[in-house]
Structure formats: structure tokens, C-alpha cells
Amino acid sequence: MKLKTRTIYINYDFPIVFSATNEKGNYFICLFTNETDTYLRYFCQEVSSFILADLEDNRKDIRSIFENPGKLYSLCLNAQSEEPVEAVETTEDITPFLPEKDLFIGIHERVTPQTIKYFQDGLLEGEMNGIKKTAKNALAKGIPIELIHDITGLEIETIRQLAAS
């Protein structure tokens, strides 16, 4: 089965979470798992248009899409190509690759290209103080703690302490 990227929700040098469609028009949510020298690897779960809308409107988190999957697919994506790529059915345990609960992608409210760019610019500084400063500024702009955690890797409690300081 071939999948073609539809919408990239979280991107950091390459797509982390995105939706895709197959040749029949079915929807899939794809979650990055690992990379090699030649490809990026994802797990993809088929979803209905209703589930996709719930995900995009913050009524469903990323983890819940993959917790009780029907057919699960493994996808290897060449980062240099935008051509549709082949996805194959898999029975692998995806638990180690799942994000924490309550991580939403909500393109309509929470995650915007500007939000991701804001973090990327701040993270390029590379020092923990720079990351904490970026996280504190993000809190001041109303960016959710969960999103700050996901992008920066800072512990939730550390982010809460930054919010209180």
C-alpha cells in the first residue's frame, strides 16, 4: 500500500507526526520511530475522517490513536523524496515509541508552524539555559506545557517550576 503525506503536524528537521492518505483516499496518522542513514521510519495507523477531525481539534491525543490499533503499518520514508512510499503491515510492539498521554497536535488551536519555529529557533542555542529560557517565554505566550515538554524534552515538573518563577 502506498501512502502520500497529507498534513505535517509536528516537524523538527523532518516530520515527527503527520497524516497521510492511500490510493483509496483512506486516512492514516504516522508517528516517527527511528532513523537510519537512508530512511526515516514511522508507524502508521488507519483512522476515520471523524477520528482525524478529533485529533486535529484536540479531542483526541496522539497516543490514543495507537493504543488499540487495528491494522498497523510500518513506513520507511526517504527524507529527500516526496513520492508516495510503500507501507507494510506489521505486528511490532509500538509501546516504546508512543508519546505520553495528553499530547495533542490540534492544528486549529495548539500547534502552528509559528509555534514549532519558535521552539526550533530557541533550541538551536543548544544550552540548557537557552532551552529553559525558550520554555519560559513559550509559557508566557500561552503555549501548553505538554507541547513544551514534547519539543524541548524538559520534564513537566521543570516546566511547571519555570511557570511559577
Closest CA to 42 of 67, 70, 19: 19
Is 90 within the bounds of a domain? yes
Question: The pTM is what?
Answer: 0.62
- Report pLDDT for 146: 77
Inside any domain, residue 105: no
In a domain, 18, yes or no: yes
Per-residue pLDDT, 130: 62
Three cell numbers, residue 116:
514549532
Q: Are 11 and 112 in contact (CB under 8 A)?
A: no
Whether residue 127 is found in the same domain as residue 47: no
Does the residue 136 lie in any domain? yes
State the 10-residue block means of pLDDT for the chain, 165 residues long: 86 84 92 82 91 85 83 81 74 84 65 54 50 73 74 77 80
- Verify that 73 and 141 share a domain, yes or no: no
Q: Report CA torsion sign: 54, 56, 60, 66.
A: positive
pLDDT at site 121: 56
What is the residue range of 131's domain? 113-164
Alpha carbon dihedral 100, 101, 102, 104, in 10-degree steps, equals 60
Number of domains in the chain: 2
> Within its chain, how far is the Cα of 84 from the centroid?
20
Q: What is the pLDDT of residue 83?
A: 62
60 and 90 fall within a common domain: yes
